[in-house]
């Protein structure tokens, strides 16, 4: 039998991965180099990277178009309050636990949501998120409809607090991208892409479609929960109407679609663009929303595979190579 | 030795009966050809066997194990590999990765073993030269070959083929016929739906003719083709051509 040689990454991939690692190290030094106003703002960017990466995993690889991921963002944010303010756990250490709590919430919700398909799944996830919000807003210790404050970090020097939050957010962002990248490189990841392309053909090829989708749903819930926990640390307050807002889903869809769905790089590009637009224009009020909409429409019309997918994604160059090349 | 037993399969689409009490058995190393006019229920039969569709009544048994309640992916892992009449490639994956999905999932193989099975499936179907192309870029005939490659990469004991020969030139058809004969010789049980009757009769041990969901003839190919019921169903069209060819 002839030798079968399969390679996973070209030179471009190795350069890209090294560059990404270097960038993460550089970003880690930011609290020593720039003011805490800047790092405080950059936390938003990292949150965007996390939620876009997770939504892309869900929709771009799992084919699960959810409009209800704010359920997990809100759950993660509220879990920090519950664990830290009421449970006495250090607020920063509460972040991984809050992510886990959001992931646990995804287990029962997945059984409800997975009864639905396509457009019904999208609407169903939104309805579930509304239910989670309504239930949360009934809980007295969590401040009911008016929300709660993260009082347990008031002892920290503000600069130190922002720096810790920043590092945590950077770690969650780098960790999310790395985790999704590693997952997509595995056998399961390849199967996910197959499911996204054609679920029926995937089943016919022996892929456990349901199991793979549930795995993706649980990972996305956990990751989005971690983002919610960071949001809580960064804003120091949570309100049902803000952390459970469907606006988060709109952000996720915008970033992923504009950046390039079904690629690892796309959501990062989308998050950068969205963050930039928000920084430049959020003071403008309605004009900001109009420009966001215009950008979205323009990209969908001119570059249907998103900014990354329609440019670099068309070449064989990839920062995060996941393919298999048969030599 | 693998045996596929289909017993009393029945399925309706609305008022339309598309599988009406279909029964047969197929042993390892044997090939069954399925013919019948368009809309007779041939693809439906394949879907019922592969698990893509559930029957209202009847059972599918593989090696003495009743798989009627098993999902399509489970049946694939148990050894039922199939192609689709209208190809369904994983368009964003490469041709090699398409086969790799099947080797990993359906075949339960990992790494080198999976690479080897996928690569062998491409060699067998003549797709090796397109291994690193995106499957979405393949023309129709190569998409059909990819269907076969994917089914083979799962390492099936029962292979279900749905009109993979249409549109091939005579030399290409020759290659396909030899491939299927080779697979049957290697011990696979093969069910092949095809309108090109002269190709079928070269390969199959028995022929089954469906019309409006019913088996109207089943047995020795020459006997089936010669039967009055079969000739009436075709009203002298495609099948005549096939026999003439
Ligand atoms: N999913 C479906 N829903 C409704 N009717 C269907 C479906 N699939 C097939 N049919 C109908 O069932 C009949 C048999 O179809 P099929 O098995 O594809 O026939 P064949 O493969 O013999 O041409 C046809 O009349 C077809 O229109
Ligand atoms: Mg058909």
Q: How many CB atoms lie within 10 A of CB A208?
A: 19
Residues A244 and A132 sit within 8 Å (Cβ to Cβ): yes
B92, A262: Cβ pair inside 8 Å? yes
- How far apart (Å, rounded) are the C-alpha atoms in residues A137 and A147? 8
Distance from CA of B7 to the nearest CA of A (A): 22
Nearest CA-CA partner of A142 in A236, A76, A78: A78
Residue by residue, what is the 3-state secondary structure of B129-194? Answer: HHCCCEHHHCCHHHHHHHHHHHHHHCCCCEEEEECCCCCCCHHHHHHHHHHHHHHHHCCCEEEEEC
- Exposure letters B18-37 (e unless 16+ CB within 10 A, then b): bbbebebebebbbbbbbbbb
B20 alpha carbon, closest ligand: 1
Question: Which pLDDT band, with edges at 50, 70 and 90, does A304 fall under?
Answer: confident
Minimal CA–CA distance to A244: which of A94, A67, A81? A67
- The CA-based angle A206-A208-A211, given to 5 degrees, is 175
Q: What is the pLDDT of residues B170-211, one digit of tens each?
A: 999 999 999 999 999 999 999 999 999 999 999 999 999 999
Residue A231: predicted pLDDT: 98
Interface A-B, measured as beta-carbon pairs within 8 A, has a size of 106
pTM of the model: 0.89
Average pLDDT over residues A189-212: 94
Q: Which of these, B134, B40, B19, lies nearest to B85 by C-alpha position?
A: B40
Q: State whether B73 and A208 contact (CB < 8 Å).
A: yes
Closest Cα in chain A, distance from residue B76 (Å): 5
Query: pLDDT category, B242, cuts 50, 70, 90?
Result: very low
- With CB atoms and an 8 Å threshold, state whether B96 touches A326: yes
Distance CA A174, CA A307 (A): 21
Shortest Cα distance, chain B CAs vs residue A16, angstroms: 21
| Distance (Å, whole) CA B63 – CA B28 | 10
* DSSP SS3 for A298: helix
Alpha-helix residue ranges (DSSP H) falling in chain A: 11-28, 30-33, 36-55, 70-80, 94-113, 118-136, 158-185, 187-197, 199-204, 209-235, 240-243, 247-259, 265-281, 286-302, 306-310
Distance of alpha carbon A184 from alpha carbon A263, whole angstroms: 10
How many other CB atoms sit within 10 Å of the CB of residue B38? 8
In sequence order, what DSSP letters do the residues of A214-250 get, joined into one string? HHHHHHHHHHHHHHHHHHHHHHSEE-HHHHT-THHHH
> Which contiguous run of DSSP H or E holds residue B43?
helix B42-50
Q: Is the pLDDT of residue A232 over 80?
A: yes
Tokens 């990404």 locate to: A20
Gap from CA of A198 to ligand 1 centroid (Å): 20
Which residues are paired to B19 by β-bridges?
B11
Selected residue of A59, A187, A205, A322 to mutate for chain B interface (largest B Cβ count, 10 A): A205
Q: Tell me how close the Cα of B188 comes to any Cα of chain A, in angstroms.
A: 17
Average pLDDT over residues B108-130: 95
pLDDT digit string, tens, across residues A87-97: 999 999 999 99
What pLDDT was estimated at residue A174?
95
Say if residue B243's pLDDT is above 70: no
In percent, how much of chain A has pLDDT > 90? 70
β-pairing verdict for A325-326 and A6-7: antiparallel
**What is chain A's mean pLDDT, rounded?**
92
Q: Is B86 in the pocket of ligand 1 (CB under 6 A)?
A: no
Distance spanning both ends of chain A, measured CA to CA: 15
CB B217 within 8 A of CB B208: yes
| Weakest-pLDDT range from A5-9, B8-12, B42-46, B151-155 | A5-9
8 Å CB contact of A262 and B97: no
Q: CA nearest A101: which of A57, A59, A136?
A: A136
> How far is Cα of residue A89 from the mean position of the Cα atoms in its chain?
25
pLDDT at A2: 61
Give distance in angstroms: CA of B213 to centre of ligand 1.
10
Confidence of residue B237 (pLDDT cuts 50, 70, 90): low
In chain B, pLDDT over 90 holds for what percent of residues? 87
Tokens, residue A126: 């939104």
Kindly tell me the sign of the dihedral angle through the C-alpha atoms of A136, A140, A141, A146.
positive
The pLDDT tens digits of the residues spanning B25-57 come to: 999 999 999 999 999 999 999 999 999 999 999
Write the Ramachandran bin of A186: left for phi over 0, alpha for psi from -120 to 50, otherwise beta: beta
Contacts of A187 in chain B (CB under 8 A): 104-105, 110, 114
User: Is A204's pLDDT higher than 70?
Assistant: yes
Q: Which residue has the tokens 């049946």?
A: B75
Residue B131 has pLDDT above 50, yes or no: yes
Q: What is the pLDDT of residues A23-82, one digit of tens each?
A: 999 999 989 999 999 999 999 999 999 999 999 999 999 889 999 999 999 999 999 999
Q: Does the pLDDT value for residue A102 go beyond 90?
A: yes
For ligand 1, atom 1: residue with the closest CA? B13
pLDDT above 90: residue A118:
no
Checking if the pLDDT of A1 tops 90, the result is no
Distance B35 CA to ligand 1 centre (A): 15
> Which tens digits make up the pLDDT trace of B191-202?
999 999 999 999
Give B7 Cα–ligand 1 centroid separation in angstroms. Answer: 20
- B107–A206 CB contact, under 8 Å: yes
Structural domains for chain B: 1-79+161-245 (3.40.50.300), 89-155 (no CATH)
The tokens for A194 are: 């197959």
- Short-list A243, A239, A259, A295, CA closest to A52: A259
What lies within 8 Å, CB to CB, of A56 at 6+ separation is A180, A256, A261, A262, A263, A264, A266, A267
Question: What is the chain B residue with the closest CA to A325?
Answer: B132
Query: Residue A130 pLDDT > 80, yes or no?
Result: yes
């Amino acid at each position: 039998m002839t030798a079968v040689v399969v390679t996973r990454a070209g030179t471009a991939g190795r350069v890209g991965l090294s560059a990404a690692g270097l960038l993460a190290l550089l970003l880690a030094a930011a609290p020593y180099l720039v003011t805490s106003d800047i790092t405080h703002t950059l936390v938003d960017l990292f949150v965007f990277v996390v939620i876009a990466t997770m939504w892309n995993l869900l929709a771009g690889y799992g084919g699960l178009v959810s409009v209800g991921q704010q359920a997990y963002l809100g759950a993660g944010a509220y879990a920090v309050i519950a664990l830290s303010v009421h449970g006495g756990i250090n607020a920063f250490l509460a972040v991984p636990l809050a992510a886990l709590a959001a992931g646990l919430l995804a287990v029962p919700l997945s059984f409800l949501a997975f009864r639905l398909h396509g457009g019904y799944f999208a609407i169903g996830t939104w309805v579930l998120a509304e239910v989670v919000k309504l239930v949360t807003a009934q809980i007295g210790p969590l401040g009911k409809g008016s929300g709660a404050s993260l009082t347990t970090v008031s002892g920290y020097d503000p600069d130190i607090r922002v720096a810790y939050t920043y590092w945590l957010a950077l770690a969650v962002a780098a960790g999310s991208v790395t985790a999704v990248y590693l997952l997509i490189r595995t056998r399961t990841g390849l199967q996910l892409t197959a499911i996204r392309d054609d679920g029926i053909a995937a089943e016919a090829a022996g892929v456990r479609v349901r199991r793979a989708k549930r795995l993706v749903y649980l990972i996305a819930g956990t990751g989005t929960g971690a983002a919610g926990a960071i949001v809580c640390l960064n804003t120091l307050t949570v309100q049902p109407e803000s952390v459970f807002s469907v606006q988060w889903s709109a952000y996720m869809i915008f970033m992923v679609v504009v950046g390039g769905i079904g690629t690892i790089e796309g959501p990062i590009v989308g998050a950068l663009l969205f963050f930039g637009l928000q920084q430049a224009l959020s003071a403008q009020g309605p004009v900001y929303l109009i420009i966001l909409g215009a950008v979205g429409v323009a990209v969908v019309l001119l570059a249907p595979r998103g900014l990354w997918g329609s440019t670099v994604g068309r070449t064989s160059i990839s920062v995060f190579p996941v393919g298999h090349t048969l030599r | 030795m693998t045996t596929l037993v289909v017993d009393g399969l029945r399925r309706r689409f609305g008022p339309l009966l598309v599988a009406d009490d279909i029964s047969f058995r197929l042993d390892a190393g044997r090939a069954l050809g399925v013919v019948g006019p368009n809309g007779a229920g041939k693809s439906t039969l394949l879907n019922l066997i592969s698990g893509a569709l559930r029957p209202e009544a009847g059972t599918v048994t593989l090696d003495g194990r009743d798989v009627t309640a098993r999902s399509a992916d489970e049946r694939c892992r148990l050894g039922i590999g199939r192609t689709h009449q209208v190809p369904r490639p994983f368009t964003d994956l490469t041709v090699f990765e398409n086969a790799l999905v099947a080797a990993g999932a359906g075949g339960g193989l990992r790494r080198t073993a999976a690479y080897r099975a996928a690569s062998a499936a491409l060699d067998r179907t003549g797709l090796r030269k397109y291994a690193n192309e995106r499957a979405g870029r393949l023309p129709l005939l190569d998409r059909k070959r990819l269907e076969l490659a994917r089914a083979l990469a799962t390492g099936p004991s029962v292979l279900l083929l749905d009109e993979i020969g249409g549109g091939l030139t005579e030399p290409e058809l020759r290659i396909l016929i030899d491939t299927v004969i080779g697979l049957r010789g290697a011990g696979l049980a093969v069910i092949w739906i095809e309108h090109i009757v002269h190709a079928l009769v070269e390969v199959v041990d028995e022929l089954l003719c469906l019309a409006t969901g019913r088996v109207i003839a089943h047995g020795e190919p020459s006997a089936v083709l010669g039967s009055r019921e079969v000739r009436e169903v075709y009203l002298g069209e495609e099948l005549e051509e096939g026999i003439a060819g």
